[in-house]
Every structure is written in structure tokens, then in C-alpha cells.
Structure 1
Amino acid sequence: MHFDLQDLRLFTHVAEARSLTGGAQRAHISTAAASTRMKALEGQLDSRLFYRSSQGVEPTPAGDRLLRHARAILRQVEHVKSDFSGYADGEAGHLRIFANTTAVTEFMPEVLARFLATRPGITVDLQERLTKDIVRGVLDGTADLGIGAGVVEAQGLQLLPFSWDRLVLVVPQGHTLSNRPRVSFHETLTHPHVGLHDGSTLLQFLQDQVKDLGKSLPLRIQVLGFEPACRMIEAGVGIGILPESCALRYQHTLSIQLIELEDAWAQRERSIVVRELEALPSCGRSLIEAIYSHEGFSPSSTSTADTTNPA
């Protein structure tokens, strides 16, 4: 069985556009030619790849399966190209990273600023995603690597731990809980909370913990970022659960207090998630080394998750 890369790329365009015409436009060919090539691909695989209707096309289960493979193949081709191009101007390539809120807003901007400053041929697409979407993106090849914290459940992925962080309760000075050295998350639910925006990984994580307790998170206000959250907490709007690493930074300038959480899940291991480390382009492996260096973490080994993919 022989696969033409142009057919796989056209198939991906059509599947993502949910339109034969839209896919053909992205591939810069006529709709008739695109239709002929898609029918030929279906014949070669002896499988129907699209449901067709007046509204467009929708991948069949077989189409979804091929889409995952096609993305992985095309991304690997791009990796090969990046590894064997740009030698005259230095290292070149493109990386797409799916990461949680803490990574996107806290340490990755500094890591990437230093990393890219000496690598003008590299471009990066950094996107904030929920943990399940980080896992799915790495699995189907949409992302080159992911960055998450806590338990990452995904079969067949390599997890590369690089640091630890802790979630803490942040309260204003003089709050009724401020004299407590440790509190449980359950105890905080009787107070109004300051939370991050919808779609943030931290908010989703806390909502999952509350759901397990059979309660709801008493959100009084939601904000975009950790600094606005700390400022709202200082002003007495509510209390909040935040990463200790960022809360400590704002504690120097704001009248807030950090209290340890008793819950086991508050201690979180940060991990880089990849399909296969050796299959990454050289720029991807160099970025991972930069993350290790920034966090002062010495990796002793990598691990492969052997759990159920939540996606």
C-alpha cells in the first residue's frame, strides 16, 4: 500500500475544513480534482472516509482514524525537513506546544525568550489547553509536545518530569483563615473564591475536585491571570487556590498570605509530554533541555504512561 503525501495533506485539509471545496482551496487545486483524489484514496483503503451532505463533509470513524495517522506522518515529514534545512543560517524549525495555565503564563515566556534569542530560525506556537486536550493534541500529532502538572493519564506517551509545584490557599492579610498553618480544600468552600477564566487548566482542575466532594466552587469573580487574582484577593473580594511559585512572587508586593493545603493533590509534579522523545526534531529536544536548565531539574529517566487515555 502506497500513500501519496499530497493526498494525505489534501485529506487533512478537507477533514479540518469539513468541506471538499474548502480543502481544495487550501491545497490550491480544483474541487473536482480534490473529489477524484479523495475517492481514489477511499478506494485504496477500501474504506469510506467521509459522510457527505449538502452542508459539507464529516469524517467517518475510519476517516478520524486516518486523520490521526495523517497528522502524525505530515508532522514527522516537517520534522525531517527542519532537521535537514537551515544549516547556513543556524538551527531552523517550528514547534507547537500545548500547555497548562501555569506554564503559559509563568515560566514558559522566560524559557522561550532565552531559547529563541539565540535561534532566529525557530518559530513557536504556544497554546493554553486543558490537560485532556494537551494529551489529545500530542497523541494525534496536533502538538509536538505538551506541558502539564499532576496526574497525566495517557497510554503510550512519554512523560518527562522536570519540576515540582504546590497549590496553596491565598488569603488577604487578616482573613479568618490567616492564622491557620494548614487547611483542607473542603474548608475553603464556605468562603467566596477568586478564580481564573473559563478554559484555564487550574479552574477546570479545581472544579473537578469540588465535583468529587459533591459541591460547587463558590466563585465570586473570575480573572485573566494570576496577578489580577492576587490583587482581587488582597482587596478582600475572595480567597483563591494558586500555584505557590507565582503566589510567592506577588506576596512580596501585595498584602496576601499563603496557607498550605492538606490535600494530597496540592503537591504536583510538572511533566513534559511527548509521543517519542527521539522522534522530535532537534529544536524540540533543545527546548526540552532549556526547560530542564531553567527549572534546575536533572532528568534521571523518562517514563511511559501506562494508563487509560481520558480523551
Structure 2
Amino acid sequence: MHFDLADLRLFIHIGESPSLTQGARRAFLSPAAASARIKALEAQLDTRLLYRDSRGVELTPAGQKLLTHARLIMRQVEYLKAEFTQFGTDSAGHIRIFANTTAVTEFLPEVLAGFLAQRPGVTVDLQERLSRDIVRGVLDGSSDMGIIAGPVEAAGLQVMRFSTDRLVLIVPAGHELAGRKQVTLKQTLAYQHIGLHDGSTLLTFLRDHVERIGQSLALRIQMSSFEAICRMVEAGVGIGIIPESSAIRHSHTMNLVTIELDEPWAVRERSILVRELDALPGTVRALIATLMPQADGTDADGVRG
């Protein structure tokens, strides 16, 4: 069985597009030519890969399986190219990262700024994703690496823990909770919260824990960043749960009170997820080493799930 890389790349474009026409456009082919290639691929595999109707295309179960393998194959091809670019140095290449809200908004921008400034030939695609989508993305090859906080169920992935993320409650000075050293999540639910936007990993995480205790989270307003949440809290609009690092930083310029959350899940380990560290191109390994200086190509204190 022979697979043409161009066909696999075309299939990925179609699988990630709402229609064959748009997928063909991304591959710089006419719809007729793209359709002929897909039919030939189906004939070679002796199975149907796409459902076609007036609304567009949808992958069959076999098509979903091929998409996963095609992504992995093309990712490995890109890795091969990167390894031989400038003799395998870490000065060129492309990195796709799926990460949680805190990573995307808090520490990764600073880390990436220094990393990219030293490597003009490197480009990065950083996407905020939910934890389950981060794991799935690394598993199916649509992401080179993932950054996640909290417990990880990632069979088949290498998990490297590199720091701790603690969630805290912030309230405005003078708030009736301001004198407390600790509060539980349930005790905060009597007050209106300032939260992140829908789809953010932190808001989804908090809603899950609120539902587990049979309560509801009263959101007065949703913001796009932790800084914006802090400004709303300072103004007395509500209270908020954010990472401690962000609370400390913004407390220097805002009148906020930080209270410890008396919950076992409030302290979360941050982890880097990869399929196989040794198989990654030098560019990706260099970024991981920047995030986790002890990473040396071995498991460090990481484990295989």
C-alpha cells in the first residue's frame, strides 16, 4: 500500500474544513481534482472516508482514523525537515502548542518572547484549549506539545511536571470576606463572581467543581484576562478566583485582598505533555528546556502514562 504525502496533506485540509471546496482551496487544488484524489484514496483503502451532502463533508469513522494517522505522519515529516534545517539546530522551525488559560495568558507570553527573540527562524502557533482537547491534540499529532494544570489522564503520553499553579480568591479591600485567611468554594458562592470568558479552561474547571457540590456559579460579568478580573474586583463589582501568581502581581498596583482557597484541588501541578520527547525536533526540545531547565532528554521527573 502506497501513500502519497500530498494526498495525506489534502485529506487533513478537507478533514479540518467544513467543505471539500474549502479543503481543496487550502491545498491549492480545484474541487474536481481534490475529489478525484480522495476517491482514489478511498479506492486504495477500499473504504469510504467521507460522507458528502449539500451541507458539505463529514468524516466517516474510517476517515477519522485516517485523519489521526495522517496528522501524525505529516507531523513527523515536518520534524524530519526541521532536524535537517541548518543541520538540526534549534534556530528554525514551527511549534504548535495547546495550553490552558493560565499558561496562555500568564507565563507563556514572557517565556516565548525571550525564546523567539533569540531564534528569528522559529514560528509558534499557541492555542488555548480545554484540558481534554490538549491531551487529544498531542495524542493525535495536531499539537507538538501541551501545557496543562491539575491531574492528567494521558495514557501514551510523556508527562513532565515543571511548576505549581495555586488558585486563590481575590476580594476588594473592605469586603466581608477580606478578614478571612481561608474560604471554601461553597462559601464564595454566596457572592457574585467575576469570571473568564466561556471556553476558558479555568472557568470550565471551576464550573465542574461547583456542579459537584450541587451549587451554581453566579457570574456577574466575564472578562478576557486576569488583569481585567482584578480591575473589576478592585472596583467592587464582585469577587474572583485566579492563579496566585497573577493575584500577587496585580496586588502591587491594585487594592486587592488575597484569600487562600481551602480546597484540595486549589494547588495544581503544571505539566508539559508530549508523545515522545526524544523524537521531537530540536526547536521543540529547546522550548521545553526553557520551560523546564532540568529537562535533558530523559524523563527527568516526568512519567509515562
TM (normalized to structure 2)?
A: 0.94
1:14 aligns with 2:14: yes
- Map 1:22-41 to 2 at 5 A: 22-41=22-41
- Corresponding residue number in structure 2 for 1:105: 105
Shift in Å, 1:90: 7.0
Give structure 1 regions of 4+ aligned residues with deviation exceeding 6 angstroms.
none
1:189-234 alpha-carbon deviations (Å, 9 max, x no partner): 0111111111111111101111111111011111111111111111
1:281 aligns with 2:278: no
Check 1:90–1:280 CA distance in 2 against 1; reply closer, same or farther (3 A cut): closer
Aligned partner of 1:184: which letter?
A: T
1:83 aligns with 2:83: yes
| Equivalent residues of 1:162, 1:299 under 8 A apart | no
| Equivalent residues of 1:89, 1:121 under 8 A apart | no
Aligned partner of 1:279: which letter?
A: A
- Corresponding residue number in structure 1 for 2:62: 62
Mapped to 2, the partners of 1:101 and 1:90 lie a distance apart of 27
Paired residues in the alignment total 303
- Corresponding residue number in structure 1 for 2:135: 135
Moved more, 282-291 or 271-280: 271-280
| Equivalent residues of 2:97, 2:143 under 8 A apart | yes
Moved more, 33-42 or 172-181: 33-42
1:116-160 alpha-carbon deviations (Å, 9 max, x no partner): 111111001111111122112112211111111011222211111
- Corresponding residue number in structure 2 for 1:169: 169
Mapped to 2, the partners of 1:132 and 1:264 lie a distance apart of 21
| Residue aligned with 2:86, SS | coil
| Residue aligned with 1:12, SS | helix
Mapped to 1, the partners of 2:90 and 2:166 lie a distance apart of 39
TM (normalized to structure 1)?
A: 0.92
Gap regions ≥5 residues in structure 2: none
Percent same amino acid among aligned pairs? 62
| Residue aligned with 2:190, SS | coil
| Residue aligned with 2:57, SS | strand
- Corresponding residue number in structure 2 for 1:182: 182
Aligned partner of 1:291: which letter?
A: L
- Corresponding residue number in structure 2 for 1:237: 237
Gap regions ≥5 residues in structure 1: 306-311
- Corresponding residue number in structure 2 for 1:261: 261
- Corresponding residue number in structure 1 for 2:45: 45
| Equivalent residues of 2:90, 2:286 under 8 A apart | no
| Residue aligned with 1:3, SS | coil
Shift in Å, 1:299: 7.4
What's the Cα RMSD here? 2.0
- Corresponding residue number in structure 2 for 1:212: 212
